[in-house]
Structure 1
């Protein structure tokens, strides 16, 4: 599950870079450069990933706030694009939440359960996880509100990268425009950390499964396997999107994120009760 997810995210980033920045560059080169950096990071351990995240967290928010200010200054926001609010009531949004958004992207947070045993202070994990999930939800909500306010509902729904289309619309005093690099930096940075965490979970999971003492050595073979998997996962980007949004939802997300974890929790609960009785 983690390896497949890494391949999908790597393909997403590679396709985006080729579509908007490097149309003449082979997909293999774009994916290979990113995965090599990630393999090096994962080999250094989870602490390096976490410390890098602390630094880039600040940079990401500086980019986000700057982009928001430029969008406001450009006069692109049209609040009427958000109307009518809840035209058909609260049930359509709730249906989308429980059939789509709950599984992607929030169910992918299951990957952090692979890191919990290595925390120095596991008691803080619950609060940190809830805060991080809440902050992610707020970020996604704000981003979607801005996209719809600028592009409208139809264009937002049709666009492959609506946030990129929004940023491309920025034009301040006939001077600041074509700020695609903002989106590129944010996407590559976010993708870097998502892939790093998923790859780290895949590496330590494989090491535990086969009882290997040194898990870091697995980062190279698994990373290379992911690189070639990202190339062969689909024949084109449209097929890649269909597989991720339709097929993967029922084959992977629902069973591995919504069915198996509660069953494992139930088994662990029953085992603990049995031990306590004994």
Structure 2
């Protein structure tokens, strides 16, 4: 681990910006139609339940990152294999998010720039930040948090002033049954973005106030879930369900619809700024933990040296991951949740927690027995 510490507020901000990240790009929980915002809130509750699993693992091993405590739980050989698989998982997610933002940047602003160069420019900034360490990333996120909220409040104010909100577009809220909403929430939306919080098991040990982690984690997830739910409700209220689902980037379509006093319009810069903030934080967190985990598993003394090779692999994977953006999105909606997110976010953490529970109970029993034996020996004398 890097010799660094971050405050509770910095961790809260990192969680919030990370969760918002690429979730703002897509019509999140769009299958829920007028009730999409409710599906997001249900998925947020599921994400908080998952967080308690991660929090329980952290309590058993408060001074170890994920790639380290899996070896304590599973043994050195099997633990290294699982740790390495998690490193590949984090690199894969970094590549997916990089592809998301590279494609979006080309669509919105630079249509004639090759995807490789757009992604390369982005990953170089990420690598520079990763080399500087977790404290620099945490301080940067504090500045971005203020900017993100200023942009959001200004954005809401402009929408209200422009008079584009039509609350009737949100009716009927319960066109889809509650059971269907829960099914949607726990089959897709819980994994993206809420389940991706598992990446923070590589960051929790840096917290200088570990006793506050439960409140910080729940608070970060709740606030990001509320923001995402509100944004989706706003998309539907302004654009309607059909246009929201058909639009490649609903938030961009919404921002492009803003017109105030006949001159304040085409505010694409709002979307690009939010895009840069969310993309930068999310890709950097994934890349940082991939670098840290690789250094931990392979006993590399200076993790910063791995930033360039890991970043280069992420860049290449982001290009070859799919032949087109539509194929990339289809993979993310169909294959990734079931075959990648489910094992790494749910199944493996639950198994690790069960094994850790019995291992630690066995240790406690041995310790208690040892104390009893010592007490009996003293009384015998």
| TM-score under structure 1 length normalisation | 0.98
Specify the alignment match of 1:22 in structure 2.
110
Q: Does 1:72 align with 2:163?
A: no
Specify the alignment match of 1:196 in structure 2.
284
Shift of 1:276: 0.9
Specify the alignment match of 1:244 in structure 2.
332
- For residue 87 of structure 1, give the secondary structure of its aligned residue in structure 2: coil
Specify the alignment match of 1:221 in structure 2.
309
Q: Does 1:159 align with 2:251?
A: no
Q: Does 1:232 align with 2:285?
A: no
* Equivalent of 2:262 in 127, 149, 174: 174
- For residue 47 of structure 1, give the secondary structure of its aligned residue in structure 2: helix
- For residue 110 of structure 2, give the secondary structure of its aligned residue in structure 1: coil
Q: Does 1:265 align with 2:353?
A: yes
Specify the alignment match of 2:147 in structure 1.
59
Post-superposition Cα deviations, 1:31-70, rounded to whole Å, max 9, x if no partner, equal 1111101101011111111110111101001001101111
Tell me how far apart the structure 2 counterparts of residues 222 and 88 of structure 1 sit (CA, whole Å): 44
Work out whether residues 120 and 315 of structure 2, in 8 Å CA contact, stay in contact via their aligned partners in 1.
yes
Q: Does 1:255 align with 2:343?
A: yes
Tell me how far apart the structure 1 counterparts of residues 294 and 211 of structure 2 sit (CA, whole Å): 26
Shift of 1:174: 1.1
Shift of 1:14: 0.6
Shift of 1:179: 0.4
- For residue 266 of structure 1, give the secondary structure of its aligned residue in structure 2: helix
Tell me how far apart the structure 2 counterparts of residues 149 and 118 of structure 1 sit (CA, whole Å): 41
Tell me how far apart the structure 2 counterparts of residues 63 and 229 of structure 1 sit (CA, whole Å): 32
Post-superposition Cα deviations, 1:75-115, rounded to whole Å, max 9, x if no partner, equal 11110000011124322211111111111110000000111
Larger Rg: 2
Shift of 1:266: 1.1
Specify the alignment match of 2:69 in structure 1.
none
Tell me how far apart the structure 2 counterparts of residues 191 and 88 of structure 1 sit (CA, whole Å): 32
What's the C-alpha RMSD, in Å, of the aligned pairs? 0.9
Tell me how far apart the structure 2 counterparts of residues 274 and 78 of structure 1 sit (CA, whole Å): 60
Q: Does 1:92 align with 2:184?
A: no
- For residue 205 of structure 1, give the secondary structure of its aligned residue in structure 2: helix
Q: Does 1:108 align with 2:108?
A: no
Q: Which runs of 4+ in 1 moved over 4 A?
A: none
Shift of 1:74: 1.0
Unpaired segments ≥5 residues, structure 1:
none
Tell me how far apart the structure 1 counterparts of residues 142 and 325 of structure 2 sit (CA, whole Å): 32
* Equivalent of 1:131 in 219, 226, 230: 219
Tell me how far apart the structure 1 counterparts of residues 241 and 148 of structure 2 sit (CA, whole Å): 26
Tell me how far apart the structure 2 counterparts of residues 221 and 63 of structure 1 sit (CA, whole Å): 35
Q: Does 1:144 align with 2:223?
A: no
Q: Higher mean Cα deviation, 170-179 or 86-95?
A: 86-95
